[in-house]
């Protein structure tokens, strides 16, 4: 390994599906590199973050390749992300947990998360020097003053933000003005207190009108547009030569085939996520 690993920031736009991201046309985030459609390993926040922290980014779908070969190739991409040269697949073993590896090679490991299911009591914070659940689920801008980077050691930051999570509310929007579709509260517990999403109840299907569901998707698109401005502020704060990955933990359903949200759903739209990364110059 080289002696000069760089800072690395992983930004997870919770529940943001790929076509919402593209519809928002986020200019700042797309400056990082080529935008890819990828697929999450899981349809819910907690297991998806476990995969991310294993070092497994949302996957592409290559033909004619063994899974083990694909995984090794993906792990080796951390040479590029961290500015290293000799990181090997065996470096991740036996723990297969990125924060543990990063601490072993001298990183400070920190996280700020927005969704309560990622709270500090979970096993996900293994290997982190600090792990903070934010006061509000939908305020990425509140993270910016808390970002710190050491001059003595490189830093890894995990930032999970929930503006793109149901109810797709931006900071400052009063909770009593958040959209409340009849049946969502109770049938679908919001903010991942349990699981958000499932099959829309047949007896109440009419209350989940196409117009209301389309309005929810528009709110998610607007949330991406808002976050693009926050990310621009973030980029101004990051040290030069920081590598940034922006993706989502899973997608979202807005009435397609009778589904809403995410969680116990087997549908392509709940697995399609955006993926863009690159190094700030």
Residue 140, judged by CB atoms within 10 A of its CB (0-12, 13-18, 19+), counts as: buried
Supply the mean pLDDT for the chain.
90
- What pLDDT was estimated at residue 153? 95
The answer to the question of residue 3 being in a domain is no
Integer angstrom CA distances of residue 226 from 164, 168, 230: 10, 11, 7
Integer angstrom CA distances of residue 45 from 14, 117, 161, 165: 7, 7, 11, 10
- What pLDDT was estimated at residue 196? 60
Could you give the number of structural domains in the chain? 1
Q: Please name the residue that has the structure tokens 């979202």.
A: 252
pLDDT tier, 205 (very low <50, low <70, confident <90, very high otherwise): very low
* Pairwise CA distance, residues 252 & 272, whole Å: 9
- Asked whether the predicted pLDDT for residue 204 surpasses 80, the reply is no
Query: pLDDT, tens digit, for every residue of 64-113?
Result: 889 889 988 999 999 999 999 999 989 998 999 999 999 999 999 999 99
Query: pLDDT, tens digit, for every residue of 164-184?
Result: 999 999 999 998 888 876 544
Domain span holding position 55: 8-279
* Pairwise CA distance, residues 25 & 30, whole Å: 8
The answer to the question of residue 224 being in a domain is yes
Could you tell me the CATH number of the domain that includes residue 87? 3.40.720.10
pLDDT tier, 186 (very low <50, low <70, confident <90, very high otherwise): very low
Q: What is the DSSP letter of 120?
A: T
Long-range CB pairs of 209-216 (<8 Å, 24+ gap) are 210/255, 212/179, 212/181, 213/181, 213/254, 213/255, 213/260, 214/254, 215/179, 216/166, 216/167, 216/168, 216/179, 216/181, 216/254
Coil, strand or helix: which one is 137? coil
The answer to the question of residue 20 being in a domain is yes
Query: pLDDT, tens digit, for every residue of 32-72?
Result: 999 999 999 999 999 999 999 999 999 998 888 898 899 88
- Asked whether the predicted pLDDT for residue 246 surpasses 70, the reply is yes
pLDDT tier, 201 (very low <50, low <70, confident <90, very high otherwise): low
The answer to the question of residue 243 being in a domain is yes
How much is the pTM? 0.92
- What pLDDT was estimated at residue 195? 44
Integer angstrom CA distances of residue 279 from 12, 147, 242: 17, 18, 6
- The shares of helix, strand and coil residues in the chain, as percent rounded to the nearest 5, are 40, 15, 45
pLDDT tier, 2 (very low <50, low <70, confident <90, very high otherwise): very low
**CB contact at 8 A, 83 and 89:** no
The answer to the question of residue 96 being in a domain is yes
The answer to the question of residue 1 being in a domain is no
The per-residue DSSP string of 190-209 comes to GGGSS--EEEPPGGGGGGS-
* Pairwise CA distance, residues 176 & 129, whole Å: 37
- What pLDDT was estimated at residue 178? 86
Q: What is the DSSP letter of 59?
A: B
pLDDT tier, 193 (very low <50, low <70, confident <90, very high otherwise): very low
- What pLDDT was estimated at residue 163? 97
pLDDT tier, 200 (very low <50, low <70, confident <90, very high otherwise): low
**CB contact at 8 A, 244 and 154:** no
Number of separate helices (H) and strands (E) present in the chain:
8, 10
């Amino acid at each position: 390994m080289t002696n000069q690993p760089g800072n690395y920031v992983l930004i997870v736009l919770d529940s943001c599906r790929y076509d919402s991201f593209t519809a928002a046309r986020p200019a700042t985030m797309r400056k990082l590199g080529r935008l890819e459609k990828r697929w999450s390993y899981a349809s819910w926040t907690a297991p998806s973050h476990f995969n991310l922290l294993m070092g497994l980014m949302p996957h592409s779908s290559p033909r004619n390749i063994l899974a083990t070969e694909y995984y090794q190739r993906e792990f080796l991409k951390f040479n590029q992300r961290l500015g290293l040269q000799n990181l090997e697949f065996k470096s991740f073993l036996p723990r297969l947990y990125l924060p543990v590896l990063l601490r072993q090679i001298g990183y400070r490991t920190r996280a700020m998360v927005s969704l309560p299911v990622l709270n500090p009591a979970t096993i996900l914070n293994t290997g982190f020097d600090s792990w903070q659940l934010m006061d509000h689920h939908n305020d990425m801008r509140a993270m910016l003053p808390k970002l710190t980077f050491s001059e003595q050691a490189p830093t890894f930051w995990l930032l999970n933000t929930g503006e793109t999570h149901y109810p797709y509310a931006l900071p400052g929007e009063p909770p009593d003005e958040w959209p409340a579709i009849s049946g969502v509260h109770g049938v679908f517990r919001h903010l991942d207190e349990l699981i958000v999403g499932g099959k829309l109840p047949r007896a109440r299907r009419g209350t989940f009108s196409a117009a209301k569901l389309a309005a929810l998707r528009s709110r998610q698109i607007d949330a991406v547009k808002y976050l693009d401005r926050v990310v621009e502020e973030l980029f101004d704060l990051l040290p030069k030569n920081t590598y940034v990955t922006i993706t989502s933990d899973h997608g979202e359903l807005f009435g397609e085939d009778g589904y809403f949200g995410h969680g116990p759903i087997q549908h392509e739209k709940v697995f399609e996520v955006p993926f863009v990364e690159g190094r700030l110059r």
